[in-house]
């Protein structure tokens, strides 16, 4: 269904053409020329009313087009004068901040920083280890007197070794000879071995007493360290403890006195070491403080004995007393 326009067909064509041009290129003078045919007054009024409504839509469209697409303005003519530079407006100077002097706290005397230890080179570390090993061996008193053969078998081995030859063949011949000894020959070798044993004990005792008890004690400590290092290195070298009759016996505690007394009583006969130890341990825990006091008194008396003997024999205080006073223990 098509609606009939209230104005003439010629006028509508012109309006449509003008409207299309207004969206593409606005004219310099936004005027709308209208040509129409003469019509009666009644029809003219109706047509004018419709025309004014359409004209308002056209003007709104034209104003939209002119607002979005403005014509390019002409460049201004060059006058030859350089544009005057604007002088910068001076900024208002800010008020200077008040400087407040802070009072420095009295710092205590600066402690000097501990200097870090320099890392030793591999060569220096090896030299240090060798020197420590050398010092330990010197303290350990390893130059013991040589021992004479103390058994009949070792006497036969020594005699076979004097004939010459390699160790393996000498050991084989010594074993064969020892098995073939007559009772008289075996008795003679045993007698000689006993004499050698007595000589060894006398020579060893003289050698040990040639050092102070403290030196022998230090030698045993060094031997323990050497044995520990040999074990860590996978070596089977053994360092036997030096025997000295002058060695001060360590003090006993209260439980050791109770343990010895229970074993001497004879009540634990037929029990193994583990069974008797567990039984004595339970008995000790069940004792009252009054029952434990006699054993504690014995332990206190033995401790006093140890401290006195240690100072008399070694010439220094016991280790626990020296640790309390801040000196190194031996």
Q: Of the CATH numbers 1.10.8, 2.60.120, 1.10.3470, 1.10.30, which one belongs to the domain with range 254-325? A: 1.10.30
Is the confidence at residue 198, as pLDDT, over 90?
A: yes
Q: Which of 149, 146, 165 is nearest to 157 (CA)?
A: 149
Distance CA 237, CA 229 (A): 10
Domain ranges in the chain are 9-67, 140-210, 212-243, 254-325
Is the confidence at residue 217, as pLDDT, over 80?
A: yes
Q: Which of 253, 219, 264, 209 is nearest to 239 (CA)?
A: 219
Tens digit of each residue's pLDDT (9 = 90 or more) over 238-248 = 899 999 999 99
Q: Which of 309, 316, 262 is nearest to 284 (CA)?
A: 262
Cα atoms found within 13 Å of the Cα of residue 261, Cβ hemisphere only = 12
Tens digit of each residue's pLDDT (9 = 90 or more) over 24-52 = 455 455 545 545 555 555 545 555 555 55
Answer yes or no: same fold for 140-210 and 254-325: yes
Would you say 258 and 241 are in contact if contact means Cβ atoms under 8 Å apart? no
Tokens representing 46 are: 């109706």
List all residues 6 or more positions away from 65 whose beta carbon is below 8 Å from its beta carbon: 22, 23, 26
Predicted pLDDT at 320: 84
CATH architecture of residue range(s) 140-210? Orthogonal Bundle (1.10)
């Amino acid at each position: 269904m098509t609606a009939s326009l209230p104005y003439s067909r010629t006028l509508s064509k012109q309006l449509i053409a003008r409207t299309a041009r207004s969206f593409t290129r606005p004219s310099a003078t936004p005027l709308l020329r209208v040509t129409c045919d003469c019509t009666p007054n009644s029809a003219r009024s109706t047509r004018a009313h419709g025309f004014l409504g359409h004209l308002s839509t056209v003007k709104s469209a034209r104003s939209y087009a002119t607002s979005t697409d403005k014509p390019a303005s002409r460049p201004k003519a060059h006058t030859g004068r350089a544009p005057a530079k604007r002088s910068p407006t001076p900024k208002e100077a800010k008020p200077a901040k008040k400087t407040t002097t802070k009072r420095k706290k009295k710092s205590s005397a600066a402690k000097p920083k501990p200097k870090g230890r320099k890392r030793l080179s591999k060569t220096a570390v090896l030299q240090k280890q060798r020197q420590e090993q050398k010092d330990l061996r010197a303290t350990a008193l390893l130059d013991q007197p040589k021992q004479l053969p103390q058994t009949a078998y070792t006497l036969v081995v020594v005699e076979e070794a004097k004939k010459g030859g390699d160790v393996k063949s000498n050991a084989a011949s010594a074993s064969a000879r020892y098995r073939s000894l007559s009772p008289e020959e075996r008795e003679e070798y045993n007698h000689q071995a006993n004499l050698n044993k007595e000589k060894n004990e006398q020579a060893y005792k003289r050698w040990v007493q040639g050092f102070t008890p403290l030196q022998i004690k230090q030698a045993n400590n060094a031997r323990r360290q050497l044995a520990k290092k040999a074990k860590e290195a996978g070596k089977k070298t053994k360092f036997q403890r030096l025997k000295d009759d002058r060695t001060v016996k360590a003090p006993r505690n209260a439980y050791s006195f109770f343990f010895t007394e229970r074993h001497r009583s004879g009540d634990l006969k037929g029990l193994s070491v583990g069974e008797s130890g567990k039984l004595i341990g339970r008995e000790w825990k069940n004792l009252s403080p009054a029952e434990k006091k006699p054993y504690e008194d014995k332990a206190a008396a033995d401790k006093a004995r140890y401290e006195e003997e240690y100072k008399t024999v070694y010439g220094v205080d016991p280790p626990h007393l020296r640790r309390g006073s801040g000196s190194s223990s031996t």
